[in-house]
Amino acid sequence: MSPRGFILPTVVLIAPAIHSSVVIAEEPRASMSERHRALFHEHCLSCHNEEKAKGKFRVDNLPFTITDIETAEKWQKVLNALNSGEMPPEEEEQPDSVAKTDFLADLADVMVVARKELSDQKGVITMRRLNRREYRNTLRELLGVEINVSELPTDGGTGGFDTVGSNLFMSGNQFEQYQSLGREALEEAFAWQAAAAEKPHLRYEAETTTPVVTKFVAYQIDARERAKEWVKAVEEAAAKPENAEIVARLRSESKNDALFRRSWEKIPGAPSPRSFGFDKKGENDADLANDSLGAGWLPYHQYYLEQPALDRGAWLGTQTRHPAELNVNYIELLVPFNWPVGDYVVRVRAAAAADAPPERRFLDFGIHARTGKVLATHEITGTLESPQLIEIPLTLTRGHLTRENRMLFVREKGSWDTNEEGGRKRAEAVKRNGIGPELTLWVDWIEVERIPNATKPLPPGIAALAIPLDDKSPPPDAAELRAALERFATEAFRGTAPSSDYLDRLMRLHEVRLKAGDKPGMALKETLAVVLASPMFLYLAEPVVEEKSRSLTAEELATRLSYFLWSAPPDGALRDLAKSGALLQPDVLAAETGRLLDDPRSAGFTRAFVHQWLGLDRIDFFEVNRALYPRFDDGTKVAARNEIFETFEHLLRGNGSLGNLLKSDYVVINRVLAHYYGIEGVAGHGYEKVTLPAGSPRGGLLGMAAIQFMGGNGDHTSPVERGTWVLRKLLNDPPPPGPANVPQISRLADRVLTSRERVLAHQEDAQCASCHRKIDPIGFGLENFDAAGQWRTEDSYAAVDAAGKPDPKTKMTWTIDPAAAFHKGPAFADYFELRDIIAGRVDDFGRGFSMALVEYALGRPCGFSDEPLLDGIVEQAGKKEFAVREFIHALVESESFRTK
Amino acid sequence: MKTRRHFLQSSTAVVALPVLESFGFRRFASAAAPVTPPKRLVFLGFGWGITESSWYPDITTPGPDYTLPDGLKPLERHKADFSVVQGLWNKYSNEGHWGSTMWLTGANRYSQPGQSFHNSVSADQVAAARLGMETRFGSLQLTGDESGDPSGHGPGLSLAWDISGKPLGGQKGPVEAFQRLFSKDTTPIETQRAMLAQKRSVLDTVLENARSLQGGLNRTDKAKLEEYFQGIRDIETRLGKDEQWIGVPQPEAPLDEPKPGMTGREEIKLMYDIMIAAMQTDSTRVLTYRQPVGTLMKSLDLKVHPHDMSHYHSTLGEKLDASQRRDLAQSELLAGFIDKLKSTAEADGSSLFDHVALAYGSNIRTGHELSNCPTILTGRGAGLKLGHNIVAPKDTPLCNAWLSLLHGVGVEVERHGDSSGVLKEILA
C-alpha cells in the first residue's frame, strides 16, 4: 500500500526528503500529469494558440508545472471554463467523458497544491495579536473574571484556525472595543474584590405552586358554571320571536357560536357578561366568558392536584395556560438584582415518579425559560422518599442585568423547547391518555448561593497592583502609584517591563482623569484600561533583529507553550521556569507540557482546537426537524456535541491512541446519551467511559450522533457532506473546494428516487464525477445513520407538491444499501466494513491531525515546507501507537516550535 | 520623541477643515437658502444570491420593454426607475460561499505570494475618501446581527474593505446603527474638548508602547504592527473630525430609536429606514449594508438551511420554494426602500431618489455560481439608464459597473479592482 493509502495519488507528488533536519529542495509539486497532454492538445490548442488566441487566451505556451501566480491563474481559467461547460464550445467535438473526468479531477487537485505551494509561508510566523478567545482567557487569568467578548469580530474567517496571525486584523474600531472591554473587565474585577466575602443565599420552595393551582382549578370550575349560565341567558334572549331577524343576521355574520355571543349587546334582552362576573378589563368581556366556558386544561390541572407530595414540592408538567396566568411547566428562581457578581452554585432537590419511563427522567436547567438556552441536563435518579441533590455552577457578571439573564429555571428535558415542539408533544399525550403529558418529575426546592472568594488567592493582576481599589481608602502617593502601574503592566505584558516613557504617560493620563473629576477608583480603572489596549498586551511578539530565524528565549517559549495548550498566558510556575532558563532543557519542557495538559485550563485548547479541526460549527448551522426526530431535543444536542470534546479529553488524559477516534470498543458518554444510544452502564452523572456491547455501531467519531447530525440538514442525510467530511477530516485526502460555476443538476428534481439514485446522477457529468466519485461512495456507507445520528435500516422519500409539502401518495420506502467501494480502492458491504477500512488508515488520520496541530500551535498555515516536521511528528507518535500526547510532545520538541 | 502632531503629519490621513458653507453644516446649523443636494452612494449586498430561473428578465428582451419576472414583481411600481444588469462578474472569484467578500473589490485572494488571503479596497471606501469629507461620518457600514455566516457573505466584517484591503467593521443591527447616528451628546462643549484631549493622550500612550515594541521587530512583524498604527491613525482622523463638529448640534433623529431584538425582515426594514434617516440628515453620503439572509428566512418561517436553499436544484420542492419566497421578501423590502427614497424630500424640493446611486446584489448568483452576478441599479444620482433590462457582454467585470457609479457620483478614479473601463450600457 502506498503511504497515502489505497487512493492513488492523482497529483504528481515529488517525494519529500525524509530527513527532518534537511530543508527540502524547492521542487515544484503542482504539475499536471503528462497523460493529459493529448486531451489538452486535441481540444484546446486549435483555438487557443499563438496565432488564433481566441478570447485573447493562449494555452500553447502554458507550462504543465505551476510555479507562479500568473500560471496558476491561467490554469484556474482552464478549470473554470471546463467546469462551467463553456469549453470546449458546444459545436466542437467533445472529449471522452472518462478522460475529461480524470483531467478535471487532476487539475482540481493540482490547483489546490499550487495554491498551497504559492501561499506557503515557508515557516515564517507572523507576529499576531491575541485572538478573541485568548483575549478573554488572558483577561480571566490576569483579573480573575470572565467577560463577554462577543462584540469583537470573529477570527479566522478565511478558513484557517483562529490562531493564524495573517488572518488576525486590527482596526481603530477594535482598539476602542479593547479599551471598553478592558474597562469592563476591571469594573468586574473590582466588583468581585469588593464583594469577596459575601455569601447570599436564597431558596425557593416549589410547593408554592400548589395553592396557585388549587385556586386556579376552583376558579376554572366556578367560571365555567357562570359562563354556562350566561350562555343560557343569551340563548334565551336570542330565541325570542321579536329578535328573530337580528339574530338571523348576527348568526350569518358569525363563524361560530362564540363569535355570535360576542355581539350580545345587539340582542335585546341579552344580559352582559359583566353581570355574570366576567370583566376583561377594557376588552370585550364576552371573550373571557367564552374562554371560561372551555375551562382549558382543567382536567390536566385536576390531574396535577391528584399527585402526591404537593405539600413539599411541585411537579413539572407541560405548558397549559399562558405562564403569566398559570405555570405548571417549569420552576423559576430570580437571582435578586442587588446580589453581587461572583461564582454561585445552584442546587436543585428533585425526584422522579416511580413509574416514570426512562426517557421522562431528565431535567433541563437554564436561564430564562421562554428565550434562553438549556445549559445543563441531568438524569433524575432520586425518588420521592429519597430525592436527589443536583449542583450546577453558575457565574454572574455585571452583564447579567436583566430578568432575561438572572431568571433560573428547571423543567423536564425537551418538554417545551419551542412552542411548536411543546405543543406537538402535548397533543400526542392528549391523543394517548385524553389529559396531557404524564407528570414524571418532582422538585422539592431550588436554591442559589454565592461562593465567597475572600479565601481564594488574588488574581495576579489585582495582586500586582497592591494599592486600594475603592474610593474610601486614602489614595496612593505618586511614587506608590507609579510602582503599582509598573507592576500591573509587567504582569499584563507577560513579564516584559514597560518603558519609563510609557509609565510617565500613564501617570499623566491618571492625573488628567483626576483633574477631570474622576474619583480615584475610576481614574485608576481608566488608566489600567489603556494598558489592556496596549500592543504589548494585545500582541504575542517575538522580536528578531535580522530577518533570520533564531531560537526562542525561555520566556517566549513559555508564552508559546501556554497559548498553545491553554489559550492563556503562562502561570507563575511556568514563568519561573522560564526566568531561570530551566524551561530550555528538554526534560523540563516535556514535563511542563504534561503539566499544562493535566491542568483544567487545557480545556482552552481541547474545546477550541477540536471544534475547528473537525469543523463542528456546522452543528449550529441548522435546527433538527423535531417532528421527524423528536428525541433529538435541545438537551440531547448539547450532550451530543460535548461527547466529541469529552472523548478527545478522555484520550488526552489517558494518553490513548488517536486511532480510538476512528474505531473503539467504548464510548465516553453521560446519562442523556446513554439513553439516546440505548447503552447501559453509566454510573455517575458526568461523562464516563462505557464499554460497548458487541456489534454496536458506536465507538469512534463516526458513531457519534453529533458527527452524523452534521452530515445532513436536520431533515435528510447528505451522503455528500458525510463523504467530504470523512475525506477531509479522517483520511487527510480533502477533495478540492466546491468549484464555482458548475451547472447544477435539476433534471431529477420531481422524480421519486432513493437518495442513492439521486446522488448517483453526479457520476454522469464529468464536472461532477471528477470529485463526487471519491466523495459519494463513503456517504453511501454511512446511510444507516439518520439525520439525527440514530441507526436505521430504512429510508423514505416523497415528492413535494405545489405547496412545497411532501405528498404522501408518492412516498417510497426502501431498505438502505450501504455497500459501495472507494474510488480506485476497496469495496465494503456495510458501515462496519467501511469503518474498519477507515480505522486501518490511522497514519493518514494522524498526519491530518498533525497538520492541524502545527497550524494551530504555530499560528500559520501548514505548508509543503512543513513536510519534514510532519514526517517527524507522525513517526515519533507512530512509535507509541499514535498516543495523542506523543503528537503534542513531538511538536513541542521540534525545532519549528522552538524557533522564531 | 515624536509628538502626536508629527505622527499626524507623517501619516496619510488628511483631515479636511470644516467647510462652513457646506450643505451639511447648513442643514442643521443655519437656515440659508437650499443648495444642490449632495450625491449619495449606497450598496446593499445579500449573500446567497437569488433564484436564477425566476429572478432574471429574459435576456432576449433587452431594453425597456421587458416582462418583469416573478422574483421582481414586488418592484413593479418602480419598473421605470431601476435597471437589472446582466452579464457581470468578478473574474477572480472562485469561492462558492463568499457572496460579499470581494463583491465590491473584485480582488484576487491569491494574488500575494506567501499569503492565502488578500483583498483590496471596496468601491464604497473609494467613494468615502472623497464624499466623506464634509459629513459627520465618512461612511456608514451596516451589517446584519448574526453569528456564524448563515447568510453566505464570506470573510469580512461588513461589505467594506479599507485602502489596505483589511476588513472594516460596522454597526450590527438597528439599535447600534441608530445609536451611532443619533445618540445625543449632551456634554458641554468644554468637557467635550477635554475628553478629546484625554482620548489623544490615550493614543499617545499606546503609541509609545507600540514604538518600544516595534524596535525589535523584523519586516513582516512590523507590517503586522502597522495595522495597529493604522488603527490609531484612523482614530486620530476621527477625533480630528469630532473636533470640527464640536458645537454643531447633532441632527434630530427623524425616527424613533428601534426596539432591541428586531431580526430578519423587520431588521432589514428598520435598517433601510435608518439609512434614509442618515441621508436625510446628511450624516453620511456613503452607505453599505450587508443584509442578513439567515434571520430573514427565520422571520419568514422558512425552515430550510440558507445554504441548502441556494442549492435547490437537485430537489426543488421546499428549497426552491424557500428561495423564491426569500427573493420576494427581498424585492418587497427594496421596493419599500425606493418608495421612501422617492418620498423623502430634499431642501430644494427634489427627492433623495434624485441624488442617490444604489446598487443591490451579490457576488453569488445561486449555488456556487459566480457569473452573471445579480445586479440591480437604481437612483437618479449617477446618470444611470433606468427602466431597462440591460444585457452586458458575458463576463464583463462587475468593477466596470462600480467604476461607472463612482464616476456618476463625482469620484473620478481611473480604475477600480479589475475594471477595464466604464460600463457604457448602464449610462443614460
Query: What element of type H or E holds B265?
Result: helix B265-280
For residue A334, which phi and psi values (nearest 5 degrees)? -90, 125
Report the distance separating Cα A604 and Cα A817, nearest Å: 42
Report the distance separating Cα A182 and Cα A139, nearest Å: 8
ipTM beyond 0.85? no
Closest listed residue to residue A544, CA positions, set B225, B229, B220, B230: B220
Tell me the residues of chain A between 413 and 472 that have a Cβ less than 8 Å away from chain B: none
Report the distance separating Cα A561 and Cα A172, nearest Å: 30
Burial group, residue B301, by CB count within 10 angstroms (0-12, 13-18, 19+)? exposed
Contact A72 B371 (CB under 8 A): no
Closest listed residue to residue A81, CA positions, set A113, A112, A59: A59
Contact A565, A590 (CB under 8 A): no
Contact B150 A176 (CB under 8 A): no
Which tens digit of pLDDT belongs to each residue from B322-354?
999 999 999 999 999 999 999 999 988 899 999
Query: Residue B277: pLDDT above 50?
Result: yes
Which of chain B's residues have a Cβ under 8 Å away from the Cβ of A506?
Answer: 205
Query: Residue B116: pLDDT above 90?
Result: no
DSSP 8-state secondary structure symbol assigned to residue B386: -
Rounded to the nearest angstrom, the minimum Cα separation between A101 and chain B is 19
Homologous superfamily of the B37-183+257-426 domain (CATH): Alkaline Phosphatase, subunit A (3.40.720.10)
pLDDT of residue A13: 37
At A579, is the pLDDT very low, low, confident or very high (cuts 50, 70, 90)?
very high
pLDDT of residue B5: 37
pLDDT of residue B186: 76
Query: Residue A842: pLDDT above 60?
Result: yes
pLDDT of residue A542: 83
Report the distance separating Cα A44 and Cα A88, nearest Å: 7
Omega within 30 of 0 (cis) for the link into B174: no
Report the distance separating Cα A309 and Cα B286, nearest Å: 67
Query: Residue A554: pLDDT above 90?
Result: yes
DSSP 8-state secondary structure symbol assigned to residue B62: -
CB count in 10 Å sphere of residue A819: 14
What are the cell numbers at A851?
497538520
Region A298-450: CATH code: 2.60.120
Instruction: Detail the DSSP E strand segments found in A631-691.
Output: 666-669, 688-691
Q: Which residues of A255-267 are buried (b: 16+ CB within 10 A; e: fewer)?
A: eeebebbbbbeeb
Q: Between A128, A620, A804, which is nearest B318 by CB?
A: A804
- CA–centroid distance for A734 within its chain: 22
Report the distance separating Cα A64 and Cα A75, nearest Å: 9
Break chain B into its structural domains and give their ranges: 37-183+257-426, 185-249
Report the distance separating Cα A168 and Cα A860, nearest Å: 11
pLDDT of residue A409: 96
Which of chain B's residues have a Cβ under 8 Å away from the Cβ of A545?
Answer: 216, 218
At A621, is the pLDDT very low, low, confident or very high (cuts 50, 70, 90)?
confident
Interface membership of A530 toward B (CB under 8 Å): yes
Q: Between B156, B202, B213, which is nearest A157 by CB?
A: B156
What are the cell numbers at A458?
488574588
Closest listed residue to residue A581, CA positions, set A555, A549, A542: A555
Query: Residue A305: pLDDT above 60?
Result: yes
Query: What element of type H or E holds A239?
Result: helix A209-239
Contact B208 A76 (CB under 8 A): no
pLDDT of residue A398: 87
Contact B116 A623 (CB under 8 A): no
Contact A636, A672 (CB under 8 A): yes
pLDDT of residue A435: 95
Instruction: Give the mean pLDDT of A568-579.
Output: 95
Break chain A into its structural domains and give their ranges: 34-118, 129-197+452-541, 209-294, 298-450
Cα dihedral value B150, B154, B155, B157, nearest 10: -60
Give the 3-state secondary structure of residue B132.
Answer: helix
Closest listed residue to residue A410, CA positions, set A444, A458, A459: A444
Interface membership of A287 toward B (CB under 8 Å): no
Interface membership of A120 toward B (CB under 8 Å): yes
- CA–centroid distance for A647 within its chain: 16
Contact B365, B373 (CB under 8 A): yes
Which tens digit of pLDDT belongs to each residue from A47-63?
898 888 888 888 888 99
Which of chain A's residues have a Cβ under 8 Å away from the Cβ of B220?
Answer: 124, 126-127
Report the distance separating Cα B58 and Cα A223, nearest Å: 65
Interface membership of A859 toward B (CB under 8 Å): no
- Between residues A648 and A900, which one has the greater pLDDT? A648
pLDDT of residue A546: 65
Contacts of A696 (CB under 8 A, 6+ apart): A679, A703
Contacts of A861 (CB under 8 A, 6+ apart): A116, A119, A120, A121, A160, A164, A855, B116
Which tens digit of pLDDT belongs to each residue from A369-424?
888 888 989 999 999 999 999 999 999 998 888 888 899 999 999 999 888 889 99
Report the distance separating Cα A774 and Cα A781, nearest Å: 13
pLDDT of residue A17: 35
Which percentage of chain A shows pLDDT scores above 70?
96
Which percentage of chain B shows pLDDT scores above 70?
92
CA nearest A537 in B: which residue? Answer: B209
Query: Residue B149: pLDDT above 90?
Result: no
Q: CA neighbours within 13 Å on the CB side: how many for A765?
A: 15
Give the 3-state secondary structure of residue B422.
Answer: coil
